[in-house]
Amino acid sequence: MTRRGFLASSAAANAALAQSRQKTNIVLIMADDFGYECAGANGGTSYKTPNLDRLAAGGVRFTHAYAQPLCTPTRVQLMTGQHNFRNWRAFGLMDPNEKTFGHMMQRAGYRTCIAGKWQFYSYEGKPSPRRATGMKPEQSGFHEYLLWHDLFTEDKGSRYADPVINENGKKRTDTKGKYGEDLFADFVIRFMERNRANPFFVYYPMVLTHGPFNATPRSADWARGDRLKDDPKHFPDMVEYLDACVGRVLDAIDKLGIAEHTLILFFGDNGTPKEITSRMGSKVIPGGKGLTTGAGMHVPMFARWKGVTPAGRVCSDLIDSTDFLPSMMEATGAQWFEGLPIDGRSFLPQLRGQKGNPRQWAFSHYDPHPGCKVNFPPTRLAWDHRWKLYLDNRLYDMRNDPFEKSPIPASGAPPDAQAARRKLQAALDQMARIQPPKFNKFETDGRTAY
């Protein structure tokens, strides 16, 4: 090739790279069982989270982000942009015909990758009719995947030490002596390295910090070989290892020179497990996973897009797990599928330092049955920054009663409580007009679910 030809070829390659980079990459990281109080940036004092803290410092920290109280309800909402009453099937399952944000991003010309926890197929064992049903990873809209708990739940194995994981349809046979979260982070980083010149979407639903509370490679029990012992004493190590893996992904994005073209989102799927008690200074925060209190639903959320997000911004707007899909659409120009609803609203303007269109209230249709192994009663609830109203008319002042011990009576309440009840009842009524409340009362064997 002549020098002139070489220069022309290089110029064309650089132009193609610049054009592809006009599309924004998305890296969505979701922690498992990781409540608001776990992050130092939110005022948590029990654990060291320097990488999450620098993510928050470099972008926007949301103080009022909420998930569903359990993992599958949140994950279905996150991936489809819809409230659970529209497309819920059962705990640990997703309808194989469902459209996800993976499908959406593929259709927009993105390379897509998922690594971490799946748990959307065959959650229940024999003799449940739901065994061998649900969505398999290869149906979900992701070109590449490395996943734990992707097939039969009885074969799921460990997610931590010597993990049982599936890479693009084949069981990995080289995991002896390795740690699951390391392998997932490695997979994400290698994917970004290979696709740095192309627009990509990474969804990283981490396995940390869900129980069992096992040792990490930084724990003393790991060196002693006691790697599968379930003990809540390991939780601080698990939090700090989660933070380290997030840090590796952040470092890779910066090293690859794609930070200006990559929107990084961090979110929790529900509150901290009940076995765990954390602190925010002098305030003691018991874990509330599964509960509809703040301890079960209030989660950390950080976003960074270098050159776009104002560094160190704090946003108090209400955010829901249905909001991620429309925000990704607005950031990338991707389009959702005709005829399918979207319940969320974009928070992209807030990431740019603008007012946007913030929610006046948030809503949850919470029904983890059938299939949930704990008898959590289903309900609907609506809330704003201070007040929360349930379907059965219980109203709580979350500012003064964060653990919801004393409902405010409907009669004789102060004017601000009465106004809140009217506002939130209107919200519940609005959602009931879309679909009246209906809950799954029975398990497969005929037992009542709650």
How high is the pLDDT of residue 449?
A: 74
- In the chain (450 residues long), the average pLDDT of successive 10-residue segments reads 49 46 91 98 98 98 98 98 97 97 98 98 93 97 98 95 98 98 98 97 98 97 95 98 98 98 98 98 97 98 98 98 98 98 98 97 97 93 98 97 96 96 98 96 75
Same domain, 221 and 145: yes
Domain span at 166: 19-359
How high is the pLDDT of residue 246?
A: 98
**Closest-CA residue to 368 (of 33, 73, 32):** 73
11 assigned to some structural domain: no
Give CA–CA dist 33/276, Å, rounded.
10
Same domain, 246 and 375: no
Same domain, 54 and 174: yes
How high is the pLDDT of residue 2?
A: 53
Taking the CB of residue 282, how many other CB atoms lie within 10 A of it? 6
Same domain, 155 and 268: yes
Same domain, 161 and 242: yes
Same domain, 53 and 166: yes
Give CA–CA dist 240/21, Å, rounded.
33
How high is the pLDDT of residue 443?
A: 76
Which structure tokens are listed for 172?
């990995």
**Given 329, 359, 389, which residue is the final one in a domain?**
359
Q: What is the dihedral of CA 167, 172, 177, 181, to 10 degrees?
A: 10
**Given 304, 325, 359, which residue is the final one in a domain?**
359
Same domain, 337 and 399: no
346 assigned to some structural domain: yes
Query: H helices within 37-146, ranges in order?
Result: 50-57, 71-80, 84-87, 101-107
How high is the pLDDT of residue 1?
A: 47
pTM reported for the whole predicted model: 0.94
Identify whether the C-beta of residue 306 lies closer than 8 Å to the C-beta of residue 293. Answer: no
Give CA–CA dist 159/112, Å, rounded.
22
- Number of domain units in the chain: 2
Distance (Å) of CA 346 to CA 76, 327, 355, 359 = 17, 4, 12, 10
DSSP string, 366-421: E---SS-SS-PPPEEEEE-SSEEEETTS-EEETTT-TT--SPPPSSS--HHHHHHH
**Given 337, 359, 381, which residue is the final one in a domain?**
359
